[in-house]
Amino acid sequence: MTSHPTRRLRALATATALTASIALLAGCASSSGSADTGSTDSAALTPITLQTSWIPLVQFGGSYVADSEGYYAENGVDVDILPGGPDVDSMAAVASGQADIGMANADTVARANEQGADLVIVAAGFQKNPLAILSSPDNPITTPADMEGKKIGVPAGDEAAQDALMEVNGVDASKVSTVPVGFDVAPLVSGEVDGLWVFYSEQPISYEESTGKEGTVFLTADYGLDVYAQVYAVTRASLEDPEKKAAIEGFLKGEIEGWQNYVADPTEAVELTVNDYAKDGGLTIEEQTKQAALQMDLLVTPETEANGLLTISDEGIKNNIATLTTLGITGVDESLFDTSLLTDIYAGGNTIG
């Protein structure tokens, strides 16, 4: 059976993020694995620090491409990509000034603000949240309604999401058995649970490797759990500083070009991930290629096809606020988002570069 310890670590990190103080800064001084393009005088570039939300994976492949191909430098910034992990609070790093831009889920940003930060989401990488329910094709769970009468494995940190999913879909919670689990697929493989909360682009791959069968998966985002993921958050104060705002816009231009490259062909992103940015992570080209393909469902939507990658739409903001409120987060309103940079960058189009 294929083991994925990073999934168990992600579960621990999720639980920690729900209770951590905004002052937590552990691990934020990690060094970047970024490549040096050698094509631009770095002295003329504005330094920017990007704190990712997790360990190096093709999950951040567009950023690696932007760095390696010189897209950041072409837009006037020298980006230091800091890897995340179970002991890294990316929002604390941004709030404290140890990072200029942090990646997280919209709910993580909102919870940081609830604890006293003043962060703003300026772009959204994953238009659909990667939280999903995985089940066996022999006993499929294809909609929230199918959860009734089933045992659902819920990792620590996802309990509120499960409650919200059932609430917005009218599922009778008394008919759903919740089983605490980690992020390993073993409980589903063994039959201990009928369904399992997973990261859409990761555990389904492990399940198929373990069983030889393609699991049944549905994205919770398709059933009312609308929370942008892999968002880019900055301090509100940085947007009020013309120089910092210009640097953040330059970063986003390079970032968008990196992800456009990824969507056109993720091969380079996969190779950079495995051979450079995560060269000591034990990753394989095969597995990262599968993950890269699955991520397309999260990155590319009718919204991004119309307005460009990383877009934040008015409808998306409305839906996110509704879901964040359902998750019990207080004080959430439109001020959590700022779309002005994306508006300037795309200038009415849907691609750049």
Give the start-to-end residue ranges of the domains of the chain: 5-128+227-346, 131-223
Average pLDDT over residues 249-268: 98
Better pLDDT: 6 or 251: 251
Please give the average per-residue pLDDT across 94-101, as a whole number: 98
Q: Mean per-residue pLDDT for 200-215?
A: 96
pLDDT band at 183 (very low <50, low <70, confident <90, very high): confident
What's the pLDDT band for 60 if we cut at 50, 70, 90? very high
Phi/psi at 74 (nearest 5 deg)?
-65, -20
Question: 196 phi and psi, to 5 degrees?
Answer: -145, 130
The first and second tokens of residue 346, run together, are 């795309």
Is a pLDDT exceeding 50 seen at residue 4? no
At residue 135, the pLDDT reads 98
CATH number of 131-223: 3.40.190.10
Q: Specify the pLDDT at position 157.
A: 87
5-128+227-346 and 131-223 agree in CATH topology: yes
Identify whether the C-beta of residue 95 lies closer than 8 Å to the C-beta of residue 114. no
So what's the pLDDT on residue 16?
39
- Give which of 90, 78, 23 is closest to 52, Cα–Cα: 90
**pLDDT tens per residue across span 128-166:** 999 999 999 999 999 999 999 999 999 998 999 999 999
Measure the CA–CA gap between 225 and 31, rounded to whole angstroms.
34
**Looking at residue 11, what is its pLDDT?**
39
Q: What is the pLDDT of residues 278-329, one digit of tens each?
A: 999 999 999 999 999 999 999 999 999 999 999 999 999 999 999 999 999 9
E strand residue ranges, the chain: 46-51, 77-82, 101-104, 119-126, 131-135, 151-155, 177-181, 195-199, 216-219, 229-235
pLDDT tens by residue, 325-348? 999 999 999 999 999 999 999 999
Helices 242-264 and 285-299: crossing angle in degrees, nearest 10, is: 120
| b/e per residue 111-147 (b: at least 16 CB within 10 A) | bbbeeebebbbbbbbbbbbbbbbbbbeeeebeebebb
- For tokens 């330094």, name the residue: 47
pLDDT value of position 86: 87
Average pLDDT in the chain: 90
Q: Measured between alpha carbons, how far is 171 from 212 in angstroms, rounded to an integer?
A: 31
CATH number of the 5-128+227-346 domain: 3.40.190.10
Query: Among candidates 174, 169, 131, which has minimal Cα distance to 149?
Result: 174
Mean pLDDT of 113-129: 97
Length of the chain equals: 353
Q: Which residue has the tokens 């119309």?
A: 306
Whether the predicted pLDDT of 10 surpasses 90: no
Instruction: State yes or no: pLDDT of 34 exceeds 80.
Output: no
pLDDT above 80 for 37: no
